[in-house]
Amino acid sequence: MFRFVIALIAAVSVVSIADCKKKKSSVKTEVRFVAASDGLRMRSTPTLNGEKITTIGNGAKVKVLEEGDVFEVDGLKSNWYKIEFAGKEGWAFGGYLTRPTMDVESGSEKFMGLWKGKMDCQGKHTHLKVHPDHTFTGWIMSGPAGAACTGEDIQGTWAMADKTMCFMREKAERSCYDQEKGQLMANEEKGASFKENSGKEFLSFLRR
């Protein structure tokens, strides 16, 4: 009887292990993009003191392998993530990565990451962070107001129209842009409505 019980446990264990392996292999790898104008450092350990392995450029695609502890950098709270990039593995701070996705729409990769305007107001810039999960976030600068810089937080969704990226905000028409020489350029034919107080399309001429 004892031998029978041992054999039964062993058989169940083998089935469970096989089942786990099957489930693990069916899970898709999480994809994110770097959203840092100066690039993102990959480190050997999940700490700012970790040895730098490489710096990953803004807009580059990485694969997330593991989630680490929550940390705060430059006022941003996020997890550390173990990532894979260009055949190397290491840790990166998630506050400078886009939101996750399992699949990336064809043609949209070149728009992913952080886009920033030229104008500066006490270190603040109009900026746009394009996420691969069909959302975007950002801030539109409207100008100085006394000792402070005024602006508006923005968010919404995006969709591809041929090779053009179109952004949609609540209660606003869509605004469409092409990427030309590393800049976002308004596509008036498909719609461009996002404005700063100055009346200019806020996304035009934003750079990585």
DSSP character at residue 171: T
One domain, residues 120 and 181: yes
Beta bridge partners of 183: 180, 207
Which secondary structure element, helix H or strand E, spans residue 5, and what is its range? helix 2-26
One domain, residues 158 and 200: yes
The pTM is what?
Answer: 0.79
The CA-atom distances, in angstroms, between 127 and each of 33, 131, 166 are 16, 13, 16
Q: Report the side by side order of strands in the sheet with 61-73.
A: 30-33, 61-73, 76-85, 88-93, 40-43, 52-56
Name the pLDDT band for 15 (thresholds 50, 70, 90): very low
pLDDT digits (tens, 9 = 90+) for 41-80: 999 999 999 999 999 999 999 999 999 999 999 889 999 9
Domains: count for the chain: 2
Q: Which residues contact 171 (CB under 8 A, 6 or more apart)?
A: none
CATH label of the domain that carries residue 136: 2.40.128.300
Domain range for 126: 109-207
pLDDT digits (tens, 9 = 90+) for 125-184: 889 999 999 999 998 887 666 667 788 888 999 999 888 999 988 766 778 889 988 888
Say if 141 falls within a structural domain: yes
One domain, residues 89 and 125: no
